Homo-oligomer: A and B are copies of this chain.
Amino acid sequence: MNYQEAKEKFISTWGSLGSLWGINKAMAQIQALLFISTKPLSMEDIMEELKISRGNTSMNLRQLMDWGIVTKEIIPGERKEFFSTEKDVQELARVVAKERSRREIKPVIKVLKEVSSIKDDGSKQTKELIKQTKALHELTDTMDVMINKVVNQNQNWLTKSLLKLFK
């Protein structure tokens, strides 16, 4: 496998993985492209490499910036805007975890809390609803806290100590 093949394979795989971390294909591919680029890229560069339209590129870049994963770079003497992504995987994981927690997990935790707090009318079905949603609430909450704690540790602690801990 040569450079070009490896690059394409990485971008397409990372793109289809988008769903796993909650973003769409183009967004994931742009991030992947920037992630392995040796320099910031312009919108033209991105459109060209990924064969996507200007509008699509613009919208997805904006979303990546909203997530805090991509930043606009001003290059002296250049009229165009250039973009680059966070290059440190640990920091990337931290941002993604934080955003997903905020956007998706926290709202669900809120609903679970509400639902599990309804008044117990003594019926079997109400008891079951309360019991099960309470258990789900506790689990989701624990997981959420844990994931955020984990990704907020520093690099050494995460890759070395933690892995050892769970061996």
Residues of A contacting B: mostly: helix
Is B6's CB under 8 angstroms from A129's CB?
Answer: yes
A166 to chain B, nearest CB (A): 4
Residues from chain B with Cβ under 8 Å of A167 in the complex = 149
Is B3's CB under 8 angstroms from A89's CB?
Answer: no
Question: In chain A, residues 1-46, which have Cβ atoms closer than 8 Å to a Cβ of chain B?
Answer: 1-3, 6-7, 9-10, 13-14, 17, 19-20, 22, 35-38
Of listed A10, A87, A108, A126, residue having the most chain B CB within 10 A: A10
User: With an 8 A cutoff between CB atoms, is A52 at the interface?
Assistant: no
How distant is the Cα of A166 from the Cα of B146 in the complex, in angstroms?
A: 7
Question: In chain A, residues 95-119, which have Cβ atoms closer than 8 Å to a Cβ of chain B?
Answer: 100, 104-105, 108, 111-112, 114-115, 118
A residues lining the B interface (CB < 8 Å): 1-3, 6-7, 9-10, 13-14, 17, 19-20, 22, 35-38, 87, 89-90, 93, 100, 104-105, 108, 111-112, 114-115, 118, 121, 123-126, 128-129, 132-133, 135-136, 138-139, 142-143, 145-146, 149-150, 158-159, 162-163, 166-167
The 5 closest A-B pairs by CB, nearest first: A149-B166, A13-B111, A89-B135, A89-B139, A6-B118
